[in-house]
Each structure stands twice: as C-alpha cells, then as structure tokens.
C-alpha cells in the first residue's frame, strides 16, 4: 500500500500535462479518426460545474495529526483552446487558457491549538486559478517512423497575480494505426521543480471492439474508458481517470510565506454521457465515486511538503457545456 501511494502521487504530478497533450489534438492525422470524429478532444470552449459530497479529512505535518473535520468542494471551470496556425501533417500552434473558481468548505473542525505551525484556514476558502499556455506540435520522421513532438509553455497564477512558469515536452511514437485501432508510446519531461519525477512514460491505446458500438479509449496513466456510441450524436462512457488540481493559498499570517500551492489528485470512477446538439454545441454530464489520494501544501516551485491533507471517499457530479469548431 505504501508503494502504491507513492506511485499515485508521482503520476498525479504530470497527468495534467498528459491531459493537455490529449486535449490539444496531439494525435493529429495519425489517430483513428473513424472512432473519434464525432467527439473530438479539441474543444474551443468548455465550461463545467462540479460539486462533491462532504467527507472526513485529516491534516498532518511531519506525520503528526494537527487537524480533522469534514470537507466538501465546489468547482467551476472555463477552458478554451484556439488554433493559431496549422500546416497539415507538418506543424501546429495552439493557444489555450483556463479559469477555475474553487471553494473548500470546512466543517466540524478540530485542531491542535498548541501547534501553531499550520496556518488557519477559513471555514470557506475561495480560490481563483488562472493559466495560459502556448503549444507547438511538430510531426517529424525519425528512422522512417512518424514522431509527434509537443512543446508546451504554461504560466499560471491567481486573482492576486502571476505565480509560475512551467515548460514541458512530450514525444509520442505511433506504433500502429488502422480504422479501428491506434497505439502509441511516448515520454514526458517537465521543468517544474514541484514534480518529483521530471521524466515519465506515456501510453495511448484506442480500439473499436469488432463491429459493435463499444470501444476502448486509454491515455495512461491519465484515464481508461470503455465507450459506446448510442447514436450519431451521443455516447456513453464508463471508466476511471486521475484528476489532478492546483490552487494557490495566501495565508496572510505572521510566520508563513506569502503564497503556498495546494496540489491534490483524485482517482475518479464514473459514468459519463455526452450529447452533440449540433455541429458546434454540446453538453456532458458525469458522476461517480471520487477517492482523493492526498493533498499537499508546498511553497511555490518546491517539492517539499509543508503539510499533507488526507480525505475519505466522496461522490461527485460534473455537468458542462462545450463549443467545438467546425472542421
């Protein structure tokens, strides 16, 4: 269990970048378009609201429990992605951005008042998270094999200003492609000091099962789903995904740094329904079980944990609308 926990937290630190690779059409012309043409990963605007039920939490510092209580969260996020330049089969440039408003509701709080080493959180902590990124995608041939190279520059911060700049690089090698199957291996590298392991492997596998409506969609370690087309405009999915998140906390208390980063990863087992209303607009709704692994408070660009937050399983709902560009 100890080693599983360590693996989960290492994976969580770069799943957001894998998601970026997936969402920014890195597959380009090489993935199995016959499977995914009606539900592209690239969406011009994506808006979602996600509440969760309350569950017990514990905050520890250097292994000692300093606070307990109940916690539930609400999130509202807006993502957008704009194609800037494209030379088919050769090169692409995309610009994106994200805004997330998140509230943490702490109730039934009991803390060790004799230990002043952890800052006092409000009963309702509100955070605003902003990020912007520029991505370049280049399709190269190495030893007569197609390689998709992705370079990404991300800046983020909050309503109180800029906080970090993170660069990352991904190389993806498609190994097999047909009308029903796509398989690729890759590697990811980041310059972020908060990542425990800057270089990690990736795996993408998508396969339509025989001639039926079901297909497998895996971008590991980020997600694994079994999907089914209901009709030409809707589909159903069931599976799991790792949901990493980041927020900036400003204690404004004597003896603490000006800003801390709160990173958390949740393992979500859920079902999802997506519906295209027309060529541009659609909506999605999903829900299920969320098992938060661990939240960590850190100084900006540091890999050392200032405090750890553990939370029990809860239930969550995610509902959203999206706008996609015409082909």
pLDDT digits (tens, 9 = 90+) for 73-122: 999 999 999 999 999 889 999 999 999 999 999 999 998 766 777 888 88
- Given a contact cutoff of 8 angstroms between Cβ atoms, the answer to whether 79 and 62 are in contact is no
Confidence of residue 303 (pLDDT cuts 50, 70, 90): confident
Residue 209 has pLDDT above 80, yes or no: yes
172-205 residue pLDDT tens: 999 998 888 999 999 988 887 655 556 788 899 9
Q: Which among 129, 244, 137, 175 has a CA at the least distance from the CA of 31?
A: 175
Q: Which among 159, 22, 56, 41 has a CA at the least distance from the CA of 102?
A: 159
Confidence of residue 48 (pLDDT cuts 50, 70, 90): very high
Stretch 284-308: mean pLDDT, rounded? 90
| Neighbour-count burial for 48-59, b at 16+ CB within 10 Å, e otherwise | bebebebbebeb
| C-alpha 321, offset from chain centre | 18
What 226-232 contacts at long range (C-beta under 8 Å, 24+ apart), as own/partner pairs, is 229/38, 232/38
User: Which of 28-37, 186-195, 285-294 ranks highest by mean pLDDT?
Assistant: 285-294
Phi-psi region of 63 (alpha: psi -120 to 50; beta: other; left: phi over 0): left
Strand ranges in the chain using DSSP code E only, listed in sequence order: 45-51, 55-61, 64-87, 91-111, 124-142, 145-158, 161-177, 181-190, 199-208, 214-220, 223-231, 234-249, 260-276, 281-299, 305-311, 314-323
pLDDT at 121: 83
Residue 167 has pLDDT above 80, yes or no: yes
Residue 23 has pLDDT above 50, yes or no: no
Residue 14 has pLDDT above 90, yes or no: no
pLDDT at 218: 93
Residue 31 has pLDDT above 50, yes or no: no
Coil, helix or strand at residue 251 = coil
Residue 50 has pLDDT above 60, yes or no: yes
Report the share of the chain in percent with pLDDT over 90. 57
Coil, helix or strand at residue 34 = helix
- Given a contact cutoff of 8 angstroms between Cβ atoms, the answer to whether 49 and 16 are in contact is no
pLDDT at 221: 85
pLDDT at 286: 97
Write out the H or E segment, with its range, that includes residue 12.
helix 2-23
DSSP at 52: B
Coil, helix or strand at residue 15 = helix
Stretch 299-319: mean pLDDT, rounded? 91
Instruction: Please classify residue 257 by burial: count the beta carbons closer than 10 Å to its beta carbon, then call 0-12 exposed, 13-18 middle and 19+ buried.
Output: middle
pLDDT at 185: 94
């Amino acid at each position: 269990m100890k080693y599983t926990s360590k693996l989960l937290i290492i994976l969580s630190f770069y799943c957001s970048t894998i998601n970026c690779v997936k969402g920014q059409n890195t597959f380009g012309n090489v993935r199995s378009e016959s499977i995914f043409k009606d539900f592209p990963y690239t969406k011009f605007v994506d808006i979602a609201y996600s509440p969760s039920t309350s569950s017990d939490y514990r905050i520890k510092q250097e292994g000692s429990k300093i606070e307990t209580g109940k916690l539930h969260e609400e999130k509202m996020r807006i993502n957008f992605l704009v194609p800037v330049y494209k030379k088919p089969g050769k090169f692409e440039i995309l610009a994106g951005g994200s805004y997330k408003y998140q509230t943490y509701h702490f109730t039934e709080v009991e803390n060790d008042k004799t230990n002043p080493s952890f800052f006092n959180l409000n009963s309702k902590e509100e955070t605003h998270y902003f990020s912007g990124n520029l991505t370049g995608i280049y399709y190269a041939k190495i030893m007569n094999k197609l390689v998709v190279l992705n370079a990404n520059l991300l800046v983020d911060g909050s309503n109180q200003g800029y906080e970090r700049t993170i660069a990352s690089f991904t190389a993806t090698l498609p190994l097999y492609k047909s009308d029903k199957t796509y398989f690729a291996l890759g590697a990811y590298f980041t310059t972020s000091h908060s990542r425990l392991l800057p270089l990690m492997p990736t795996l993408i596998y998508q396969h339509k099962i025989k001639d039926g409506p079901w297909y497998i969609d895996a971008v590991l370690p980020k997600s694994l789903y079994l999907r089914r087309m209901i009709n030409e405009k809707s589909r159903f999915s069931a599976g799991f995904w790792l949901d990493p998140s980041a927020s900036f906390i400003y204690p404004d208390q004597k003896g603490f740094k000006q800003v801390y980063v709160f990173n958390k990863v949740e393992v979500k087992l859920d079902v999802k329904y997506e519906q295209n209303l027309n060529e541009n607009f659609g909506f999605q709704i999903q829900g299920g079980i969320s098992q938060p692994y661990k939240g960590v408070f850190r100084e900006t660009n540091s890999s050392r944990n200032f405090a750890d937050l553990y939370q029990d399983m809860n239930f969550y709902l995610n509902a959203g609308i999206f706008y996609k560009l015409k082909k």
